[in-house]
Structure 1
Amino acid sequence: MTTMTRRTALASMGAALATPAFLKKAHAAEVTLRVAHFLPGVAPMQTQFFDVWAKEISDASNGAIEMQMFPSMQLGGKPPQLADQARQGIADITWTLPVYTPDRFPVAETMALPFMVTNAEKTSVAMHQLMQEFGQNEYKGLKPLAFHTHDGGKFHTRGQKISTAEDLKGLKLRAPNQATGKMLELMGAETVFFPVTEMVVGLSNGVIDGCCLPYEVVPAFKLQELTSVTNEPEAGARGLYCNTFALVMNERKYEGLSDDLRKVIDDASGAALSQRLGAQFDKFEAFGRSVVEKQGNEIHTIPAAEIAKWREMATPIYDEWIGKLNDAGHDGAAIVARANELLDAG
């Protein structure tokens, strides 16, 4: 073997030794992660986020990590069981809402209180920070990958304009969560709780006058055809409510990965992913609003000064939540105050 050939061979051997193991197996996945959620496979969340995110992780690991998607609860169970499915290893990663299991994840639920939302991106950043500061022990057995919210809800009605609390009196509205339902009742509305599928029937037959949901939900259920007026807070005011989301991974599965593969997961999660998910929901929101506009429905503005009054009216709801946080071993007042501080700073 010539000197040049030996040098080339040694150089190649050195490069091979220096290459992480997962990079050597570009065409054979070392790890398959099952990702489960409750939405249909055709939902924008699947096609515009999960599919893209999975490919990014596959590319970053050079094919060593493969994600298998199980939308529509294809691994069995019901949406409230998603966090436990990840903890038990039925799925490796799940995307779920803390409000599906009321009071179980109280820190993560805090941003789902009334008027604890600006837009989805900023509120998601605030929620991630809140969980870093106060919610580290809330998801035991799980590796949180991201926390986020959707944009603030709006009142979609069959014709009623809402400018003041007085306009809510007697209206029958479908409420999206317990805290928002209590807020609406404080202002005189009659609230009902049922799945969104039943909400469509309720709007169609006049059982309810409207619902409180973000624009992003509108296209999937054709709410623009079932309602004629959308009442939204004035720009700059807090949104009516938002629901919170958690993207979590089985902790044992995460810890069982090699250092290189854990880094791939770490690089694709955390604060940046929370912000990205929030921004994704702001895009969904803008599209939903465009659908309402295209339908020709009226978009009515609720003055910011009125929203401020409603926040004062919701004080008993915040006080009750602070008590729940205290009962769970937290400093409830500090958590609610910090949440508001983060939202105002955003």
Structure 2
Amino acid sequence: MTIRMKLAGLATAVGLALSAAMPAAAETVTIRYSNWLPPGFWLWEDVLMPWIQDIEKVTEGRVKVEVAPKVVGTAANQFDVVRDGLADMSWMVAGYNPGRFPITEFGELPLIHPKAEVLAPVFDTIYREHLEKYEPFKGVYPLSLPTITPLQIVTKNRNIESVDGLKGAKLRSSGTTLTAVMEAIGAVPVLKSAAEAYEMLAAGTIDGQITNLNTIPGFNQLDLLNGVFHIPGGLANAVIIIGINQEKWDSISEADRKAIQEISGAVLAKKVGHHYDLNDEKALETMKAAGYYMGKATDDQLAALREFVKPVEQAWIERAKAAGLENAAEILELYKSETAKAE
């Protein structure tokens, strides 16, 4: 073997040794986000997009989020889309999957608290401290689990002065709990996503919906409705899964997962709740300016409603127990007490 060949072999060996000793450069992880919210909607512009941008910042560019040019699937099936890897991340309404996540349905219960900024971080915290071990969202890792503003009654050509005025009315529902409440008061629930409400309202196939108020102007429905009946604490709520495909989440380095978690969880939930409260207040003013009939529950009506919904709460406790949550009643009392503390 010549001296040149020996030197070349030595150089190769040294290079291999050095490369083995040096950590491999982390590959960029790209998350594909499926967005079904309308263009310009405040939730996307003021909350989700800034959070997406922060993910890239806190991971120093090692994790990027690319938004698909259009929604993958439908608003209602985003959980399956993300779980099955057709997209990696989305905003998912748990109630659009009735009966699938009974353990977390206490977040849908009515009359807990009037403010989403209080409800949302408490719900996320209770989930992580008490419920995560049950793995209710297998295949999807919930980066944040906010609840939103309590759902209100918005109608067309029905001036509602009490829930008795809803008897026989066809109204869009968004989940199991709201459907149960509506059936109990004699309304006819139609389980559909917020994205589907416009066509039903325009066609006159429903008389209104029970929803958070900001969706009315936000989803271009202001001219399709003309009355509000406001109940502090609402007739129900909705649990949101801001979630990522579990395998995609596991592909991110531990350090970057930690950095993302620090800007998610209860922190993001509180931000979501704050903006929901703010935009519901704006929506209410917009409705007033548009000439909507404005009704509001009296103290006596609220007291009667609290008694009325007790069977709905008990029904959740029984469903949750059947799903393995033996201390469901304690979890509900914890939710009530923790939100009450924040008042």
Q: How does 1:11-50 map to 2 (within 5 A)?
A: 30-50=28-48
Does residue 108 in structure 1 map to residue 104 in structure 2? Answer: yes
1:98-147 Cα distance to aligned partner (Å, 9 max, x none): 11212221222221123344211111022112212332022234332101
**Equivalent residue for 2:161?**
163
**Equivalent residue for 1:311?**
306
Q: 1:240 aligns with which of 235, 239, 242?
A: 235
Alignment partners' CA distance in 2, 1:178 and 1:72:
28
1:239 Cα deviation after fit: 1.9
Does residue 337 in structure 1 map to residue 333 in structure 2? Answer: yes
TM-score, with normalisation over the residues of structure 1?
A: 0.81
TM-score, with normalisation over the residues of structure 2?
A: 0.82
Q: How does 1:222-237 map to 2 (within 5 A)?
A: 222-233=220-231, 237=232
Unmatched runs of 5 consecutive residues or more in structure 1:
1-20
**Equivalent residue for 1:322?**
317
* Conservation of the 8 A alpha-carbon contact between 1:92 and 1:253: yes
Unmatched runs of 5 consecutive residues or more in structure 2:
1-22
Change (3 A) 1:258 1:130: closer
* Conservation of the 8 A alpha-carbon contact between 1:40 and 1:71: no
- What is the alpha-carbon root mean square deviation over aligned residues? 2.7
1:205 Cα deviation after fit: 5.5
Alignment partners' CA distance in 1, 2:210 and 2:159:
13
Does residue 98 in structure 1 map to residue 94 in structure 2? Answer: yes
Alignment partners' CA distance in 2, 1:290 and 1:266:
35
* Conservation of the 8 A alpha-carbon contact between 2:97 and 2:175: no
**Equivalent residue for 1:272?**
267
Change (3 A) 1:106 1:59: same
Q: 1:120 aligns with which of 116, 128, 136?
A: 116
1:216-256 Cα distance to aligned partner (Å, 9 max, x none): 111134433222221112xxx42222111011223333333
Moved more, 108-117 or 150-159: 108-117
* Conservation of the 8 A alpha-carbon contact between 2:102 and 2:319: yes
1:51 Cα deviation after fit: 2.0
1:195 Cα deviation after fit: 4.8
User: Would you say how many aligned residue pairs link Structure 1 and Structure 2?
Assistant: 317
**Sequence identity (%):** 25
Find the residue that maps to 1:139 and give its secondary structure: coil
Alignment partners' CA distance in 1, 2:254 and 2:200:
52
Change (3 A) 1:160 1:147: same
Change (3 A) 1:94 1:198: closer
**Equivalent residue for 1:13?**
none
